[in-house]
Amino acid sequence: MEATRAYSLKDLAEACGGEVLGDAQTLIRGIGTLEQAGPGEITFLTNSLYRDLLHKTRASAVILGPSDRNASPLPRIVSDNPYACYARIAQRLFPFPHAVPGVHPSAVIAPTARIAPSASIGPQVTIGAGVVIGEGAVVGPGCVLGEGVTLGEGVWLYPRVVIYAGCEIGARSILHSGVVIGADGFGMAPDRGGWVKIPQIGRVLIGADVEIGANTTVDRGAIEDTVIEEGVKLDNQIQIAHNCRIGAHTVIAGCTGISGSTRIGRNCRIGGGVGMVGHLEICDGVTVSGFSLITKSITQPGVYTSSIPSQPHRTWMETLANLRALPQWVKKLKALEQDIQKLKEE
């Protein structure tokens, strides 16, 4: 993609708070990787594994950290956080699109809904009774908002988002296509060989500046609300079950499944494909490696990993056989320890 206008390196440095070295009037109209960037584009180095590519790049400028400030002769921006600097420059070059206020004639809107004049309602949208939509909110084509839903100012719903009754979305939050907010949690009571459905009467409350990726689902609470606090970022295809609470500024990668009544603290980082059993407490500042299975609460910040890396099939089968024999070896080891202790006492 090419930006709609070019910016000088000086302008871009001001956007991210970085220091310019070299020609500050270098014009930039795009961003690329170290390998793919060309003239008129800026690139960035955030991983030392790619430092060798710095000398081969065809970019017009580069974003570097303080330790690499002299690693390139190109015009450059030096920042304490090159990755965040890149993100802010990308926002300047490719700003979020502006929707045209108004309501498409094909939208179906309940008479009691309240829609701000600056909001944008796309085609084939359905808006239920008592819905409140804030200033500058965008509701994309085919979205469905149940009764009593509230969207804060600047909320952006991409096409085909579904929000069930009573749920609230905080200001400036972004929900991508296929997101479902407030579907029933998986609540069933066993009875005489069958199951009795438990009505899910809680809501989903989503704070400000949250982003939720495509086809992610957040279930409503069984009794109390499911809560996603401000600044949380959720990737695609995540399942968050009923009564969970995700602390502010936590990020969760794709295909993670979080069982009911789990509470995750603030500023956590959850890798892709993680599984969490229900009713856990995860404290602030925890990082969980991808594909880990979390079965117990975590009370101390740090990095936690439980997955087994892949290995040749035959090796895995041998390992599995040894794991199955582990209880027997534990018994033998305990018996041996008891024998040794007896000898010491004699």
Which residues are known to be catalytic? 242
Cα separation of 137 and 121, whole Å?
A: 8
The 10 Å CB-count burial string (b at 16+, else e) for 47-85 is eeeeeeebeebebbbbbbbeebeeebebbbbbbeebeeb
Q: What is the DSSP string of 70-135?
A: TS-SS-EEE-SSHHHHHHHHHHHHSPPP-PPPEE-TT-EE-TT-EE-TT-EE-TT-EE-TT-EE-T
Q: How far apart are CA 112 and CA 187, in angstroms?
A: 32
CB 2 within 8 Å of CB 63: no
Over its C-alpha atoms, the chain yields an Rg (Å, rounded) of 26
- Pairing relationship of beta strands 19-21 and 76-78 according to DSSP bridges: antiparallel
Rounded-to-integer distance, Cα 77 and Cα 24, Å: 9
Q: Which two tokens stand for residue 123?
A: 């085609």
Q: What is the DSSP letter of 292?
A: -
> Which residue, among 172, 221, 228, has the nearest Cα to 199 in the 3D structure?
221
Among 216, 233, 137, 139, CA closest to 180: 216
